[in-house]
Structure 1
Amino acid sequence: MASDRLACRECHAVVEPDEELCPICGSSSLTEDWSGYVVIAHPEESEIAEEMEVTEAGSYALKVR
């Protein structure tokens, strides 16, 4: 991924590179190795959010390694 942002290996949230913990799930397992990007504004109404098991609005990586 060209971005310098990180993705959480647990919930796939995309976070700023200076974050040490995921603001969504609290995990410290963050990686630069991710691809795909989706912004979920209304998780309660989103089929993608349901498929990804996302309950919080935010930016998420589609694939995290």
Structure 2
Amino acid sequence: MLGIIGIIVIFVMVFGGYIEAGGKMEIILEALPHEMIVIGGATVGSFLIGNSMSTVKQTAKDLGKVFK
């Protein structure tokens, strides 16, 4: 539960600050699918390169605990 609250706080602060600074959400929403592919792919690839298979498997198992 605390993990979900933390994620919500992050999104509210980042996007709230962006809007407060005069940013336009239309730009973010238009670029979002492409940016998620680039950033997500780089993140997963870097994680796979930098960790052993046992760490990757354990992380996959533990990922669900973030949302409990």
Normalising by structure 1, what TM-score? 0.18
Give the structure with the larger helix fraction: 2
Bigger RCO (CA 8 Å, 6+ sep): 2
Whichever of the two has the greater Rg, that structure is: 2
TM-score, L = length of structure 2: 0.18
Is the strand fraction higher in 1 or 2? 1
